[in-house]
Structure 1
Amino acid sequence: MPPRLILALALSLALHASLLLPEAFKRSPAPPPPILQAMLRLPVKPPQVSAEPLLKNTLASTESPPVVKPPPPPKVPTPRRPPTTKASTRHEVEAAQRKLSEHLYYPEEAVARGIEGEVRLILTVSDNGSITDVHVGVSSGHAILDKAAERAAWAMGKVNWAYSRELILPVIFRLE
């Protein structure tokens, strides 16, 4: 090592030591932390509540008025739905998939990234056939495909041929 470099290193160490060492000796040790003490108290019992109310209605008579029962509401006939069988459910799913295919698109980002998957949507259908709720029952694992399937299901509008209140609709995204 060159003598100039050794001299520079020695001067640097001496300078730093003269500045830092007095500070180290001036500092006093930190005081010990305060001692914490915890105590448990028994819960306070709530005051006894009397059966008599705080405010009394002195204006009301002691006799209670006769209770008049309102007439029952008129019965509205509900539309009869045919019984749901496996064949009718399969027919509903196939019809829903045909209608969904009119509104479904494969997201460009998913195509570019080569993403495939299957989403199972749960459609809630009202009595008049309109879709009242759509949510993902089983995700494809990719939010892009899940959102595209949900948007297409909402775009279907009405499903007049559906007799089920809820319909599980599989939506398959495959690249060919």
Structure 2
Amino acid sequence: MITRKKYEEPLAHQLIQITKKYLGVLADHSKDIPLERYHYTLLLIDENNESLTQKEIANLLQVDKSFMVNMIDYLENNGFVIRKTNNNDRRQYLIKLTEKSKGILPQINQVFVAVNQKALKSLSQNTVNCFFEVLETLQNNLKGVNINDIKLDYKNLKSKG
């Protein structure tokens, strides 16, 4: 059996393991929210005062156009957003939150805070700061890679209990 040192194995392996665990905890914490996925998208729309187009949201989330269309279709079909023609450029749609989504934003935010606190507990503030600096450096070091060629599909499968 070959034993690899942590720095010899692909970073993706560790990142995928963390992602699976994080999403599992997120699914558990968000089971009472009437939304299966795209929680963070609603927060982004709100944080940007509902002034984002589909293309701008896609750029922020680093997803391709077809994924973005499917995401907005899902959110719209489930009553969380509406598309509104941009008065400044009628070819664009601004994505607006519905009252339904505005009502669950505080709960979504609380879930992310709780899950992040759980993930980062027992780490000093210096370590947390260093962690985010390392993540940013990794992202910058890997710029130029066409991430739209890589498909990740996350769906919160709520228990039918």
Provide TM-score, normalisation by structure 2. 0.30
Higher strand share: 1
Higher RCO by CA contacts (8 Å cutoff, separation 6 or greater): 2
Higher helix share: 2
CA radius of gyration, larger in: 1
